[in-house]
Amino acid sequence: MRKRKWIAAIVMALGAFPGCLWGQATGTVQGRVLDAGTGEPLSGVQVMVVNTRVGALSGEDGQYQVLNVPAGTQVVRVILLGYQADDQSITVAQGGVVRVDFSMTQVAVELEGLVVTALGIERQERTLTTSVQQVGGNELALVPDANMVASLSGKLAGVSIFNSNTAGGSSRIVIRGANSLTGNNQPLFVVDGTPVSNSVGTGVFGSRGYAAIDYGNAIQDINPNDIESISVLKGPNAAALYGSRAANGAIIITTKSGRGDRAVGSGVSVTGSMTFDDPLKLPDYQNQYGQGWNGRYSYVDGKGGGTYDDYDESWGPRLDIGLMIPQFFSEGQLAPWESHPNNVQDFFETGTTGMVNASLNMGTEAASARLSIGRFDQNGMLPGFRLQRTTFGVNASGRLTDRLQAQVTAQYLNVDGANRPGQGYSSDNPMFGFVWGGRQVDINLLRGHLYNDDGSQFNWNNRWNNNPYWVATVNKNWDTRDRVIGTGSLTYQFTPWLSGMVRSGTDWYQDNRKRIFAAGTLGQSGVDPNGAFGEGTVFRQETNTDFLITANPSDFGDFKVTVNAGGNRRDTNYRSSDVYVRDLVIPGLYDLGNAAVTPELGDWREQQRVNSLYAAAQVAFRNYLFLDVTGRNDWSSTLPEDNNSYFYPSVSGGFVFSDLFDVPGLEYGKLRAGWTAVGNDAAAFALVDPYVASTPFDGVPRYSASTSLRNFDLKPERTEAWEVGGEFQFLDDRLGLDLTYYNKGTFNQIVPAQISALTGFTSRYVNAGTIRNTGVEVQLSATPLRMENGFEWEIYGNYSKNNSKVEELYGDLETIVLDTYYGVSVEARKGEPYGQMYGRLYARDGAGNIIVGSNGNPLNSSSNPVGVVGNYNPDWTGGLGNRLSYGGLTLNVLIDTRQGGTVFSMTNRYGVRSGVLAASLVGREESDENGVPIPTSEGGGLIVPGVKVVNGDTVPNDIRTAAQSYHRSLSGIAEPFAYDATFVKLREIRLGYEVPRNLTDRMRMARMSVALTGRNLFMWTDVPNIDPETALNSGNAQGFEWGQLPSQRSVGFSVSITPGL
Amino acid sequence: MKTRIAQRAVTALVLTAVVSGCGEGLTDLNVNPNEPVSVGAEFLLPAAIVSGAERLHGSSLNMDMVGLWVQHYAEHRYTIEDRFEIQDGTVSGHWSSIFAGPLRNLYEVVEKGREAERPNEVAVGTILESWLFQAATDLWGDVGYSQALLGRESPPDMTVVYDTQQEIYDGLLSELAAAGAMIVPSGPKITKGDLIYGGDMEAWRKFANSLRLRVAMRLSEVNSIGASAAFASALGAGVFTSNADNAVLRFVDNGVDVHPIYGYERNRDDHSISATLVDTLKSLSDPRLPIYARPNAFGEYVGTKNGDQTDPPLTEVSRIGTYFSSAATPAVIMSYSEVLFLRAEAAERGWVAGDAGDLYEQAITAAMSQIGVASGDIEAYLAQPSIQYQGGPAGLAQLGVQKWISLFGNGPEAYAEWRRTGYPNLQAGPDAINDGLIPVRLPYPDRERSLNRVAVEEAMARQGGATINSRLWWNVR
């Protein structure tokens, strides 16, 4: 009785219900629903009288009764998940009783119908009250990509993906804008119910002067072929049950199980693919002037012994006019001064990426299992680069007793990398010598010729730059990651409506890394003459243990109630240790015993625990009105004892209004709305001030006060969000639309706020700051053509736009600088959008003309105004996929775009400064017989359009400046190198052919398909010389490009075979 | 019925297990096992000495900024600072690396010394604090002083008021006097962590008083009465009497604890000696020339004109001499010769009794012998008519030039003294921006202006805007 009361209360809370009203001329419809196959009664079947507001659910005996059915001819419809819906037409007389029985036919549950939600709970799509987008594994692996995250590009609304251009590098993924000022803004990844790490490691050797290596984000270890589906829980609303870390959304990965291919039964399936990779876009270089300075160059030793032979810039003599000049290869002799237009292109090799995957499915009535083995081999476009991944996967489940079900999933992953490139502004980045550089250099002379006779490095320059092959293949690095992700669960069915589950899962990995710097390496701080090396280990483990009780009592008439309650304990352990040796006794022996100096050591340990209890309830009314309520309480180890418990609720509702109202042309319509809060804890050790050790000075130990002040008063952070949305299917289900609007704010953020260094510290952990994100997401699916001959054309589109605003910072603080590179800072400024980029602008007069100085160059001093040069966040993003199929042929084409946003390009800035880019030719079109550009006194150089200041007034500029002087002066200003990062990419294309049955039968195959694939085939952008889709790292300071490796264009083929057994 | 009971029992068990463990004992997991939360002064002191000396004598503030402006060094290829393009990031780095580094560590040395009633540690901390605070105010003018370094102790609004430079100088003089007076040579002290004197407290007392001479003399143009009294008092309390007293951090040729200029040049070789310095040394036939500079590829000593984008090839110019760019090059925080120069000037000004000319010659002798010039060469040098001390305003000029030469390697002090005395007469390079003016201070970092806005704006307003061309309070020449 009590139960009924609170259900009634909920109904009242929802407002007076149209379904509760009835007319006067009514009758009753009743009957029984049976399984057509077994003849068993079916309970929980939704019975509705179409175009009325009445309906019922069948009971345990399959019986149902619908009262108050309007008199007249009516259609009765039965709906049950896993069964074919059925209609019967009847005539109801006033006061009469009509009996209608149904036998429902079981159908394979379509993936689209079921969606994996938080805690791995599968739900029928129509019952969802929040925005969840699901991508099938088949869609994901359509066009092979090494990085699972990168392969989501263009497929999801509301999800921004920033891919680094490095093979094996990381991708940053942010859902609905950044929540956190300075913390992690990437979603939580969950594999088979176990949260897994996506932490990126840039190295274990600390900041020792050389470039970090991008070891990739950890989630890319997952073999895309093992993925059954990916559910993207876009906001805190959908993800609230996952707790703190899901404030950024969650990405739920379900691996394939033995059940998946029910049609095949037991079977083996093999897929393989091979792609060939080459650069999508290389900078546009000039080929008219070679290395040097003011038109002069002559090589003696490459380090200043000759005429500007140490200058790694191309302001030297003109090429290809018959000049003879001593060069690095000519041993002091004169050699032809000629251009080598392909000297960068020729550095890159054709990369190959091969993937092979074999899986075995076994299934009996009681148990099923899938085993899979995957192998991924990449030899990059970059010489020496290699990445290998071997994966083993098991997914087994079985019914141990009538009531007890067990499931085990495990993945073992091994990732082996070699010679990953250094990132950013460093001679450790192979692109360094192409952003600077001499345009006359013939790269073929450097390939395979790395040493001089005396053992020193053979190169075109011996002061700043290394031979690019030296960087790529002599200064080696290796890394190996062993990783196990495993989950085991037991589910016990207490009664037909009550079950309990206990689950434990762990994600464990250990990373071993080593880097060597050979004797003779140039331009590396921390590398002494005999060479240096560093090695280290990172260990990380996260273990989650939870229990979940699920109750589905079904005896509430029109109401269906599902209750979940559970708890979780999360333990995270992290350890790293590393050693760096900056000089060796014997060159070439990279062993600790061979250290010539005291090794520098690093060591770190960290652990965290969060305990949680949570509960969720859904009330469904006649399967068209849904209400979800969740609550979760966390206790975190990283917060002060008084503040370490925090509760956060959510409530959301969904209404399938098309069940009630007949809207012409609309088959299905649902509205949803929800509100939620999510709390979050601090990083470990944020409460007590530590002291930081430095390497002892000549044996004397040193400790310094940390520059970052801790805070023992921290409170949990809080994110609050609401969203509304709707899903619509029109025109015989040939047009579908999903719209969402969201608004979320994160408050009381735990940030290391910068403070005046006069305090003795530079930052302090505080609870401060609010970021608000609002945005819209649109998903569209359409079938413009569906012809009788089987030809079908489907379109999938998505669009998203996010606006962010930093509403509050700490106290009077006006900005938090997220990072500064090369004079441009990325900031969170109060009142501005998150990710705003600031740098020096051109000095301009009132009319906007550029002001030049007395040398005729644009003013570039520190007195130039500092202003907004852009914001790295795009204005909007979108993707458009097309699928055309006819017979066994399928063509998939995916185009995606990012509109707006800013990229600050150092390749352009320094490439112009160093005179290597074609853009630096302006003003040096002509040269004299020695190849020296015509001096300004003889009409050479250029007059910069703008104004000069004479006696306080501005007059049109008439001062000639030399090209070298002008182009070099520009790098003092950020504005000219900040570009609108808009691009459109032909992201994926695939032409697949399913071999017809009669042929496969003859070959004793169950299935066989072949496909031609292409990825990143074309790009349209106005940004010169680079791919604007770039990421220096996966942190919050985006929008910087420095010496990006060219992004990969891949073409290849794939074959998938399922032999007959 | 049975299942009901079983189910209830299981549920209850699981719930109890989880709930009981929810909030308990979690705090213990948050104890940092990597870093101590408390350390002794003997570990903070060496950290402060090394980071302070590296900042003031290293490759950045010294060689790549104010050392260029006083035309000791010259920049090649990237002639940025040499043309007075001042990058905020660099200035911000100097700012935070002085305040949120050695100064905070020294503050804690002093506090711990007070709590433990170990006056020697209080004195050592105070002396070094004064050394760095003076360097900071000489770069920026008004800075936080009386209320600075209190981040952990102060309320959380995290702003810091500025003291005027005059207040800071008053503070420095009294703090140094007090520090010198509180030293108890036989008392407990830090020895191993004292990388300067190894716990020799008499030496620290002399350093405190010598530093008072430096502080007092800086006020020669604005506060000569108070300054001269302070000077006389410090001199009376005992100052450096030989090069053995010098306050020096000795870097070590062990591959790791090397002088920062040596470390810099291992990877980047783009600095040479300024033409101003080379030409001065040449014109005076100074035996220090081959110590300060290396010959170019043609065996000649050629300096580079500062702020000139013509940028001669490195083969044609002289690089920094080996003595000043070796792994074990010492950082001379304060020298006996500087004390003698200060005493000579004080005598010339009539602040204290003494023979200015004699002190001048002693100062040059000390400066030369400190870097290994043979005594015969010193005598020959001093015998030159052009070196003879002339006294009066000409004498002050000689003192200024000689001191500028002797402070090679200590850019910040040379920069301060050039601004105070106007010697030598330096001209901005041909491609310099800033209207041909050499900057006379560093701008406040943008970050400080944002984080501590009210205090900075007030300080800027009272210092005439505090642009790089606004003179400091003591700089009235």
Q: What is the pLDDT of residue A584?
A: 94
Q: Does A664 touch chain B (CB under 8 A)?
A: no
Residue A342 pLDDT grade (very low, low, confident, very high; cuts 50, 70, 90): very high
Report the pLDDT value the prediction gives residue B308, as an integer from 0 to 100: 86
Q: Any chain A CB within 8 A of the CB of B20? A: no
Is B471 near chain A, with CB under 8 Å? no
Tell which wins on pLDDT, B261 or A213: B261
Instruction: Give the model's pLDDT for residue A207.
Output: 46
Mean pLDDT over B166-191 rounds to 96
Q: Mutate which of B22, B137, B266 to test chain A, going by most A C-beta atoms within 10 A?
A: B22
* Site from B451, B457, B458, B468 to mutate, A interface, most A CB atoms within 10 angstroms: B451
Pick from B30, B431, B453: CB nearest A638: B30
Q: What is the pLDDT of residue A325?
A: 96
Q: Per-residue pLDDT averaged across A623-646, rounded?
A: 91
- Predicted confidence at residue A821, as pLDDT, reads 79
CB–CB contact B6 A547 (8 Å): no
> B431 falls in which pLDDT band (50, 70, 90)?
confident
- CB–CB of A131/A117 below 8 Å? no
Q: Is A504 an 8 Å CB contact of chain B?
A: no
Q: Which of A305, A523, A685 sits opposite B315 (nearest CB)?
A: A305
Q: What does the pLDDT average to over A28-43?
A: 85
- Phi and psi, residue A513, nearest 5°: -135, 145
Give A814 to chain B, closest Cα distance, Å.
7
Is there a contact between A645 and B268 if contact means CB atoms under 8 Å apart? no
Is a pLDDT exceeding 70 seen at residue A949? yes
Residue A307 or residue A136, greater confidence: A307
B257 and A698 within 8 Å at the Cβ level: the answer is: yes
CA–CA separation, A802 and A185 (whole Å): 14
pLDDT tens digits, one per residue of A572-609: 999 989 898 989 999 999 999 999 988 888 888 999 99
Give me the mean pLDDT over the A487-494 stretch: 92
More confident residue, B374 or A95: B374
What's the rounded Cα separation, in Å, for the pair A749 and A783? 45
Tens digit of each residue's pLDDT (9 = 90 or more) over A642-667? 888 999 999 999 999 988 888 888 88
What's the Cα-to-Cα distance from B445 to each of A115, A245, A670, rounded to whole Å? 53, 36, 56
Averaged pLDDT for residues A990-1015: 84
Cβ–Cβ < 8 Å for A374, A422: no
**d(C-alpha A718, C-alpha A679), whole Å:** 4
Assess whether pLDDT exceeds 90 at residue A147.
Answer: no
Cβ of A96: how many Cβ atoms within 10 Å? 13
- B458 neighbourhood in chain A, CB within 8 Å: none
Residues of B in contact with A600 (CB under 8 A): 256
Token pair belonging to B69: 């402006």
Is A99 in the B-facing interface, judged by CB distances under 8 Å?
Answer: no
- Contact assessment for residue B102 and residue B48, using Cβ atoms and an 8 Å cutoff: yes
- Separate counts of helices (H) and strands (E) for chain A: 8, 58
Q: Residue B57 has what pLDDT?
A: 96
Query: Does the CB of A310 have a partner CB in chain B at under 8 Å?
Result: yes
Q: What is the DSSP letter of B473?
A: T
DSSP single-letter state for residue A865: P
Map B232-285 to HEC letters: HHHHHCCCCCCHHHCEEEECCCCCCCCCHHHHHHHHCCCEEEEHHHHHHHHHCC
Chain B residue with the nearest C-alpha to that of A687: B30
Count Cα neighbours of A410 within 13 Å in the Cβ-side half-sphere.
8
Calculate Rg over the CA atoms of chain A.
33
How many alpha carbons lie under 13 Å from residue A981 in its C-beta half-sphere? Answer: 26
- The residue of chain B nearest to residue A692, with distances taken between CA atoms, is B35
Q: What is the mean pLDDT of residues B227-250?
A: 97
pLDDT at A208 (0 to 100):
53
Find the CB nearest B151 among A523, A761, A813: A761
Q: Which helix (H) or strand (E) holds B93?
A: helix B88-98
Q: State yes or no: pLDDT of A17 exceeds 70.
A: no
Matching residue, tokens 């969904």: A654
Q: Which of A543, A544, A549 is nearest to A615 (CA)?
A: A549
Tell me the three state secondary structure of residue B23: coil
Yes or no: say if B63 and B261 are a contact pair by the CB < 8 Å rule: yes
Query: Between A183 and B36, whose confidence is greater?
Result: B36
Please state, in angstroms and rounded to a whole number, the distance separating the CA atoms of residues B335 and B406.
10
Q: Mean pLDDT across the stretch A44-52?
A: 80
Q: Return the higher-pLDDT residue of A926 and A337.
A: A337
- Which has more pLDDT, B192 or A972? B192
- Strand pairing category for A876-886 and A983-994: unpaired
Q: Which residue on chain A is closest to B10 by alpha carbon? A: A500
With CA atoms as reference, the chain B residue closest to A498 would be: B7
Q: Which residues of B fall within a CB distance of 8 Å from A695?
A: 256
Higher pLDDT, A1003 or A792: A792
Q: Is A965 on the interface with B (CB under 8 A)?
A: yes
- Which among B14, B86, B263 has the least Cβ separation from residue A547? B14
Q: Report the mean per-residue pLDDT for chain A.
A: 86
SS3 of residue B433 by DSSP:
coil
- pLDDT tens profile A183-205: 778 888 888 888 888 775 665 55
Contact A433, A312 (CB under 8 A): yes
Alpha carbon distance A677, B115 (integer Å):
47
Asked if the Cβ–Cβ distance from A759 to B22 is below 8 Å, we say no
Residues 359-398 of B with CB under 8 A from A: none
Please name the member of B43, B100, B450 whose beta carbon is closest to the beta carbon of A703.
Answer: B43
**What average pLDDT does range A25-30 have in this prediction?**
88
Asked if A754's CB is within 8 angstroms of B50's CB, the reply is no
Q: Does A774 lie at the interface with B, CB-CB under 8 angstroms?
A: no
DSSP A104-132: EPB-PPPGGGEEE-GGG-EEEGGG--S-E
- Give pLDDT, residue B157: 67
Q: Are B206 and B336 a contacting pair, CB within 8 Å?
A: no
Q: Residues 697 to 736 of A: which have CB under 8 A from any B CB? A: 697-698, 700-707, 709
- Which tokens go with A28? 């009753």
Quick check: A111 pLDDT over 50?
Answer: no
> pLDDT tens digit string along A844-899?
998 999 999 888 999 887 678 889 999 989 999 999 999 999 988 999 999 999 99
Q: How confident is the model at residue B435 (pLDDT cuts 50, 70, 90)?
A: confident
Interstrand relation of A717-730 and A666-680 (parallel, antiparallel or unpaired): antiparallel
Residues of B in contact with A209 (CB under 8 A): 267
Please give the single-letter amino acid code of residue B8.
R
- Residues A158, A91: Cα–Cα separation, whole Å: 48
Categorise residue A44: left if φ over 0, alpha if ψ from -120 to 50, beta otherwise. left
Q: Kindly state the average pLDDT of the residues B254-264.
A: 91
pLDDT of A18 over the 60 cut:
no
> Does the pLDDT of residue A7 top 50, yes or no?
no
Q: Which whole number is the average pLDDT over B362-388? A: 96
Distances (CA, A) of B265 to A426, A463, A661, A945, B238: 17, 11, 80, 40, 39
pLDDT of residue A1034: 64
- Residue appearing with tokens 């109890």: B16
Pairwise CB contact (< 8 Å): A691 & B158: no
Cα A981 to Cα B178: distance, rounded to the nearest angstrom: 62
Phi and psi at residue A982, to the nearest 5°: -55, 135
With contacts defined as CB-CB under 8 Å, which chain A residues touch B23?
Answer: 611, 635, 641, 644-645
- Report the complex ipTM: 0.94
Residues in chain A, overall count: 1061
Higher local confidence (pLDDT), B257 or A164: B257
Which chain B residues are closer than 8 Å to A306 by Cβ?
Answer: 315
The verdict on A547 touching B (C-beta cutoff 8 Å) is yes
Are A689 and B152 a contacting pair at CB < 8 A? yes
pLDDT grade for A414, boundaries at 50, 70 and 90:
very high
Contact B453 A583 (CB under 8 A): no
Tell me the mean pLDDT in the region A340-344.
95
- CA-based end-to-end distance of chain A: 57
Q: Is B13 on the interface with A (CB under 8 A)?
A: no
For chain A, positions 837-896, list CB contacts with chain B under 8 A: 853, 855, 860-862, 866
Phi/psi-derived region of residue A635, left when phi > 0, alpha when psi is between -120 and 50, beta in every other case: beta
Q: Which residue of B has its CA nearest to A313?
A: B77
Is the Cβ pair A596, B255 closer than 8 Å?
A: yes
What is the pLDDT at residue A555? Answer: 65
The mean pLDDT of chain B is 92
pLDDT in tens, A1042-1060: 888 898 899 999 998 877 6
Residue A699 pLDDT > 80: yes
